[in-house]
Amino acid sequence: MNKLAASALAATLILASGSALAFHCPADMKKIDEAMSKNPKLSAEQMAEVKKYRAEGETLHKAGKHQASVDTLAKAMKILNVK
Ligand SMILES: [Cu+2]
């Protein structure tokens, strides 16, 4: 493989992993929304936390900070006990 092909491949891999992550956030947000629509048995405090993380996750996602978004949404999902 020549140098150009190698770097093109590397760029494709980076792009692919980035977009896989970019796709991760909306999927997590959807899971959170679905869990919330089912009236989960949470305290008012937990509800507020889930909503906060959900909003933060969306903001981070829109800012292109997908890893931070996934991490933040994971906290909401943990409270909701969804995976
Ligand atoms: Cu994202």
Instruction: Please report, in tens digits, the pLDDT of each residue of the chain (83 residues total).
Output: 777 777 775 665 555 666 778 899 999 999 999 999 999 999 999 999 999 999 999 999 999 999 999 999 999 999 999 98
Residue 83 is predicted with a pLDDT of: 82
Kindly write down the DSSP assignment for every residue of the chain, as one continuous string: --HHHHHHHHHHHHHHHHHHHHHHHHHHHHHHHHHHHT-----HHHHHHHHHHHHHHHHHHHTT-HHHHHHHHHHHHHHHT--
Distance from Cα 11 to the centre of ligand 1, integer Å: 19
Q: How far is the CA of 47 from the centre of ligand 1 (A)?
A: 22
Is 3 part of a structural domain of the chain? no
15 domain-assigned: no
Determine the pLDDT at residue 12.
59
| pLDDT value, residue 64 | 95
| Domain encompassing residue 47 | 21-80
What pLDDT, on the 0 to 100 scale, is given for residue 31? Answer: 97
CA of 7 to the centre of ligand 1 (A): 25
- Asked, for residue 71, whether it belongs to a domain, the answer is yes
- Rounded to two decimals, what is the model's pTM? 0.77
75 occurs within a structural domain:
yes
Domain-located, residue 66: yes
- 5 belongs to a structural domain: no
Residue 16 lies in a domain: no
72 alpha carbon to ligand 1 midpoint, in Å? 11
In a domain, 14, yes or no: no
Q: How far is the CA of 54 from the centre of ligand 1 (A)?
A: 12
CATH (domain of 50)? 1.20.1270
Q: Domain count for the chain, please give it.
A: 1
